[in-house]
Structure 1
Amino acid sequence: MKDRNGLTEEEFLKQYNPDKYPKPSLTADIVVFAKDHDKLQILLVKRGGHPFIGHYATPGGFANKNEPLEKTAARELAEETGVTGLPLQLLGVYSKPGRDPRGWVVSCAYMAVIDKNKVHVKAGDDAAEAKWFTVTKAHALICGDETLSLSDLAFDHQDIVGDALAKIGY
């Protein structure tokens, strides 16, 4: 079959310039919740590098070339928290301009609600810390003496976590 320029798909692809359109970087972000009796907890990592060094974020990171984003999510979760084998569910796609100061970055966010007692969390890769925060009904995040609001999270993770909380009705 030929297109309106008289080209077959093979001919079209031979002359196609993939640099014609700018490309974003792709990332995956993962929201992991655990229910502990009547408490809801969220797994967060403290960023060990720029940007947002020292801020908490959901685990996540950049996709490798030709890596499906589902695998990126599982890999990044394992690298940053040591957690593996979770049933990750697509939460949404986040592409607001300026969401990442490094440039045009589009993220697919995934989520899971798990039994916290079945995982062992250990910070790794570029995460300085990985720990559980209790989520209050007012959406404060509390771990020991630390209290965060969603707006304290790095990047646009306030939006991602807010959407995940809405999805589970919290």
Structure 2
Amino acid sequence: MVIFTIRSERLAVLLRRRDKTPYAGCWGLPGGRVHADETLEQAAVRQLAEKTGITGVYLEQLYTFGDPARDPRGRVIAVSYYALVPYNRLKVQAQPSELAWHRVDALPPLAFDHGKIVAMAQERLCAKLDYSTIALQFMPEKFTLSELQAVYESILGEALDKRNFRKRVQALDCLEDTGEQFRAGKHRPAKLFRLKTPGRVEIIK
């Protein structure tokens, strides 16, 4: 599972330090084997909860990795999933030495082919920004349009025109005005918005 969040305006991924061979002591993605009596989705949800304590997040299947040499123990096929979560609403139940957030643009050497998996998940995420509301999964319950734009910029790694971005987002009809405002320092108060359908990703036609 590739768990993405935004920390300090940077895209980050949750990694778990391996305590078994191969790659003992190396960082890698949380995951594990599928039980004979469960679906792939059930296995993904279970492994995520067991390895990180994270539950109730939006998971989407990414890709199947089947290179014969990807695991030195033998032939292992990996079905990967990715999730997008707001950092301030995520509770990771593990010691810092076992789990840690790492910036996607500054990853340590990863076990197996996990670096390739993270790269593909980031590419998928960037591509889906153009035709879905997937980035909204990163947002807290209430947020400003400037905060939402910062999330898009963190994922894409580039600055966006403020006027064009707001026009595009408001045309999606997926946000609603809370009637509340947020003030930071001496700046003008900004409207607070929330999602009309939390936890749901809309496809833009």
With structure 1 as the length reference, what TM-score do the two structures score?
Answer: 0.70
Alpha-carbon separation, structure 2, partners of 1:121 and 1:131: 9
Tell me the residue number matched to 2:110.
153
Map 1:18-167 onto structure 2 (within 5 A).
30-36=1-7, 38-123=9-94, 129-135=98-104, 139-141=105-107, 148=108, 152-167=109-124
Q: Report the CA distance shift for 1:102/1:123 in structure 2 as closer, same or farther (over 3 A).
A: farther
> Considering only aligned residues, what root-mean-square deviation do their CA atoms show, in Å?
1.8
Deviation, structure 1 residue 133: 1.1
C-alpha displacement of 1:123: 2.9
- 3-state secondary structure, aligned to 2:32: strand
Aligned AA (1:86) = V
Matched-pair identity in %: 40
In structure 2, C-alpha distance between the alignment counterparts of 1:48 and 1:123, rounded to whole Å: 14
- Name the structure where helix makes up a greater proportion of residues: 2
**Displacement of 1:37:** 5.4
Higher-strand-fraction structure:
1
Shift, 1:93, TM fit: 0.4
The whole-number CA distance in structure 1 between the counterparts of 2:111 and 2:7 is 25
Segments of structure 2 that go 5 or more residues without pairing to the other structure are: 127-155, 157-205
Write the distance in 2 (CA, Å) between the matches of 1:54 and 1:130: 12
Counterpart CA distance in 2 for 1:70 and 1:107 is 13
Q: Deviations over 1:40-75 (max 9, x none)?
A: 111000001111110111100000112111111111
Q: What is the distance in 1 between the residues matched to 2:74 and 2:57?
A: 30
Regions of 4+ moved over 2 Å = none
Higher relative contact order (CA 8 A, sep 6+): 1
TM-score normalized by structure 2?
A: 0.58
Q: Across the two proteins, how many residue pairs are aligned to each other?
A: 127
Following TM superposition, by how much is the alpha carbon of 1:165 offset from its aligned partner in structure 2, in angstroms?
1.2
1 CA distance for matches of 2:23 and 2:53? 22
Partner SS for 2:5: strand
